[in-house]
Each structure stands twice: as C-alpha cells, then as structure tokens.
C-alpha cells in the first residue's frame, strides 16, 4: 500500500512553524503519512494559520479558496485548518469554507489523527479548539532532527494581554513544560548531533519549573541547566519579554558562554504613554536599562526588536520618542509593523484617528533607521573573528560553506564538508548584499 501524503503550510511565527513540524512528526510517525511539497499530490492538506495581523488572517481564506478545487477533483482529500485563526474562529471557518474537514487549535494538534477518524466515521466536519493544558507534548512523538540546529518549546501561551494582541486568546494562558521533559528532549537532540538549540515561547522568561527536590526554578536557572549539557554548544531563545528580564537573566549572559550574543527583545514603542496604553508593563527607561545591563554583561551583544507604529492615538511626538530610542539603543535588524486592529482586543475599540498614509510614512522612517544600523553592524563585523555554526553548502556553490553567526548573519567561506554541523571560527572579510564573506580561522576540537 502506498503511503498517504500530507502537505502542510505554516502562516505564522516560529512557534507556529515548530507546531507544523510536530504535526508532520505525528502524521509521519504513527499514522503512516509521508510529507509532500505539492498540495496537488496530497491526501491531507494542513494550513497552520496565524491571526496576529489582519493580513495574515485574510491570507488563510484566500489560500483556502485556491485549494478548494482540489477537493472537487479528489473527494478523498482531507483539509484541516489549525493554528491561531482556527483557535479564534472555530466553527466559523467551516461556515465560511464548508469544504474544510477539521479545525484544530495550537493546543489540540495532537488530536488531529482522531479528529480525522471521527470526520471519516460521521461524515461531518470536526472542530476542537479547546485548551487542554500542556497535554499535547505527552502525545507527540520524539522530535525528528534535521541538521545541527533545533527548536524546543519550553512554554506555551501568553498571559500578558497586551491590548492589541490576539495571542492570549488563541493560545491560552502561560504554561511551562516540566523541567525534566525539556532537559530530556534537549539531551535526545544532542545525542542525534544537534549542537544549537533555540528555546521557544511567547515569553520564555515567564518560564517556571520544579526540580525533583522541589526547588522552584526560573528561566535563568533553566538556561544554566541546559548550558551544562554535553554536546549543546550554542543556546538561543525567543521571545523574551522586557517586563520579566530579571538581573539574574542579565547575569546569565556574563556567566554562560554558550548563550549567543544576541537577544530579541520586543519594545513596541519608545513612548511611555503608548507603552501604557499597550499595557506592556515597562517604561522606555526600564527597557534601556535592561539593554545597558546586557551590554555590560556581554560587550558587543546585538539587540533586535519588534515595533508597532500607528497604535491608536500615537502622535507625532510619541513616534519621535520611538525614533530617539532607536538612535540611542542602536538595534540590529528588527521588525516593524503598522498596527492592525484585532477583533475582541481592547485596542480595537480605542479611538484611532491617524490616517493610514501617516502610519505608513512612520513605518518607512523607522525601518530605514533600523536597516541603516543593521548595515553598520555588518560593516563593523569585517575584520572580527566570529563563532559560527556551519549549516550547509553556500547557495552560490564553488566549494563554499554557509554558516550562521550569533547575530543571525549568514557567512560564506571555503571549507571542507566535514565541517557541516560543527561550530567553527571565521574571520569576516567582506559584507555582501545579504550575506558576509569570510575565511576559516579556527577548527573545532578534534576536526
Ligand atoms: N510575545 C512577543 C511577541 C509576539 S507577536 C512579545 O510580546 O514581545 C510578534 C510581534 O507582532 C509583536 O512583537 C508585535 O510587534 C507584533 N504584533 C502583535 N500584535 C499586533 C497587531 N495587532 N498589529 C500589529 N503588530 C502586532
Ligand atoms: Fe502578545 Fe503581549 Fe503576549 Fe507578546 S506578551 S504574545 S505581544 S499579549
Ligand atoms: Fe501568529 Fe499565533 Fe504565532 S497569531 S504570531 S501564529 S502565536
């Protein structure tokens, strides 16, 4: 019997991608599916959706429209919609797109096989977007390793309720995975050759766990435990939140050399008035204090961020405060978005009289300032030695390898294939359009 084929597409963030990989692990593991890259070949199409901004949500419906005809051609095809739009809209998805068979949420993805069975059995679409705690991890197979870098979810959901954001509604409240599960998963990944891990969560620094002796641990202590694991050479995390960035977490950058010299720390705005309206729980001064602390603990550390421009009531003066902060802090490559009102969030009913054209102008100014700074950081890397993870062959070929720096830049350099998946040192020699060029400066121990 030939295996059935699953086609999956992610529309969202890193956590959404992580979930997509877990869905594939689940369906290819016990359910006899094989992955395909073309929806036309598939027996099961899964859209893992995102509702962070209106555009992301609309895209899901237009893409559903595009695959609808496949079901007419192949009545055996099943279509499942998961992720944050599914969580927020639930049954409304079936009302709008009746050809969808299953709707499942970020916390019920492990139930996809049984939902598909029920759908076949009762010949009716199935919806399960409930929040059964942190149970899903108990039902998922061991993660499948692909390369030397891997992601590990350490906490799910968000309880911050920033006034503009859908995540607490779509993913439920903050829940941490048990320390023992996280450590076991990372050890298993290390045994399979993974040397870089990225810890995932909407607010990783809200992590709380309990050791076997009953001691409570926080995120900084979790980092310490992970740092002590053999085989793991580089640790990243995303996303951390400024409101729980403790002195101990800052100090981790002094004490733990395996932590990368990069933190993604979303600030959203440089205006205290707007930060308060967003209910972010910190001031611009406090944010800059964290950045100063990080730079003292780890000189040269790169800080990247997220910004929202045109939040309801943002004045020219508020925006200027963001621009001034950008100048003072000097962020590396960052993301900025025009505010998108999300149904059901408090900000959606706040008065917003700034014309869209003004918002777009602000977005461009902000992006220009951040891009210029990111380019300057790349230039300043020329002549420095960087610790990089060799991730593959360069796309340009010619015996060149591609590797990633701490601050997420691709460096191409000449080297042997036996360096794949290893950490090496390169001397950066040149800035190219989207990459850096370098020379091998130091091999890993034993290579
Ligand atoms: N948990 C992280 C970020 C999660 S969402 C944090 O709080 O920092 C990723 C980014 O999307 C946010 O940092 C924010 O900049 C952006 N975002 C979230 N809701 C948005 C909205 N309604 N409109 C525009 N951008 C939004
Ligand atoms: Fe959304 Fe705020 Fe939670 Fe981040 S911290 S996911 S922006 S509610
Ligand atoms: Fe989008 Fe949900 Fe992630 S709304 S950004 S997929 S948590």
At residue 147, the pLDDT reads 87
pLDDT at 1 over 90: no
pLDDT of residue 293: 98
pLDDT digits (tens, 9 = 90+) for 327-360: 999 999 999 999 999 999 999 999 999 999 999 9
pLDDT of residue 434: 87
Model confidence pLDDT, tens digit, residues 292-315: 999 999 999 999 999 999 999 999
Give pLDDT, residue 134.
Answer: 66
Query: How many Å lie between the centroid of ligand 3 and the Cα of residue 414?
Result: 38
Q: Is the CB of 202 under 6 A from ligand 2?
A: yes
Lowest mean pLDDT of 95-104, 315-324, 389-398, 399-408, name the range.
Answer: 389-398
CA of 9 to the centre of ligand 3 (A): 14
The residue contributing the CA closest to ligand 2 atom 1 is: 165
Q: What confidence tens digit (pLDDT) does each residue in 200-224 have?
A: 999 999 999 999 999 999 999 999 9
Tell me, what's the pLDDT at 136? 80
Q: Give yes or no for residue 444 having a pLDDT over 80.
A: no
Ligand nearest the Cα of residue 336 is 1
Task: Say what the pLDDT of residue 326 is.
Answer: 97
User: Ligand 1: which of 306, 336, 345, 360 to mutate, most ligand atoms within 8 Å of CB?
Assistant: 306
Q: Residue 239, preceding bond cis, omega within 30 degrees?
A: yes
- Report how far residue 27's alpha carbon sits from residue 33's, in angstroms, rounded to the nearest whole number: 6
Q: Is 119 known to sit in a ligand binding site?
A: no
Give percent above pLDDT 70 in the chain.
Answer: 98
Q: What is the CA radius of gyration of the chain?
A: 23
Whether residue 31 is annotated as binding a ligand: the answer is no
What are 362-403's pLDDT values in tens digits? 999 999 999 999 999 999 999 999 999 999 998 877 889 999
**Pairing mode, strands 385-393 and 423-431:** antiparallel
Condensed to tens digits (0 to 9), the pLDDT of residues 105-156 reads 999 999 999 999 999 999 999 999 998 876 788 888 887 787 899 999 999 9
Share of the chain above pLDDT 90, in %: 90
| pLDDT value at 445 more than 80 | no
Instruction: Tell me how far apart the terminal alpha carbons of the chain are, to the nearest angstrom.
Output: 45
The model carries a pTM of 0.94
pLDDT at 29 over 60: yes
Written as six digits, the tokens of 26 are 């689940």
φ, ψ dihedrals at 410, nearest 5°: -85, 130
Residue 336 parent element (H or E): strand 335-338
């Amino acid at each position: 019997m030939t295996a059935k084929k699953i086609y999956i597409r992610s529309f969202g963030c890193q956590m959404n991608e992580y979930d997509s990989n877990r869905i594939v692990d689940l369906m290819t593991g016990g359910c006899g599916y094989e992955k395909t890259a073309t929806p036309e070949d598939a027996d099961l199409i899964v859209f893992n959706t995102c509702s962070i901004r209106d555009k992301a949500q609309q895209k899901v419906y237009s893409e559903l429209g595009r695959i609808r005809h496949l079901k007419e051609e192949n009545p055996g095809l099943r279509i499942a919609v998961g992720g944050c739009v599914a969580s927020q809209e639930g049954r409304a998805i079936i009302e709008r797109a009746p050809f969808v068979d299953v709707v499942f949420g970020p916390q019920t993805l492990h139930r996809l096989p049984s939902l598909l069975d029920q759908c076949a059995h009762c010949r009716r679409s199935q919806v399960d977007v409930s929040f059964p705690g942190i149970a899903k991890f108990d039902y998922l197979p061991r993660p499948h390793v692909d390369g030397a870098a891997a992601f590990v979810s350490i906490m799910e959901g968000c309880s911050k309720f920033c006034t503009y954001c859908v995540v607490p509604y779509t993913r439920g409240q903050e829940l941490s995975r048990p320390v023992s599960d996280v450590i076991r998963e990372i050890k298993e990944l290390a045994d399979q050759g993974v040397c870089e891990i990225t810890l995932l969560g909407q607010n990783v620094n809200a992590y709380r766990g309990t050791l076997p002796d009953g001691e409570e641990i926080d995120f900084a202590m979790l980092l310490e435990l992970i740092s002590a694991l053999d085989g793991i050479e580089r640790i990243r995390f995303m996303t951390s939140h400024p409101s729980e960035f403790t002195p101990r977490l800052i100090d981790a950058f002094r004490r733990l050399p395996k932590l990368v010299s990069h933190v993604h720390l979303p600030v959203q705005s440089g205006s205290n008035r707007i930060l308060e309206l967003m209910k972010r729980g910190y001031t611009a001064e406090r944010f800059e204090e964290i950045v100063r602390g990080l730079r003292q603990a780890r000189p040269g550390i790169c800080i990247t961020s997220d910004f929202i421009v045109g939040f309801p009531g943002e004045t020219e003066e508020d925006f200027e405060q963001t621009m001034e902060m950008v100048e003072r802090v000097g962020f590396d490559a960052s993301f900025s978005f025009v505010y998108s009102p999300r149904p059901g969030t408090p900000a959606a009913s706040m008065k917003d009289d700034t014309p869209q054209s003004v918002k777009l102008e602000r977005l461009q100014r902000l992006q220009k300032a951040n891009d210029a700074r990111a380019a300057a950081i790349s230039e300043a890397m020329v002549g420095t030695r960087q610790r990089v993870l060799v991730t593959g062959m360069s796309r340009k070929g010619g015996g060149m390898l591609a590797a990633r720096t701490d601050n997420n830049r691709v460096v191409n350099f000449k080297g042997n294939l036996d360096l794949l998946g290893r950490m090496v040192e390169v001397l950066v020699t040149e800035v190219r359009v989207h990459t850096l060029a370098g020379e091998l400066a130091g091999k890993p121990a034993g290579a």
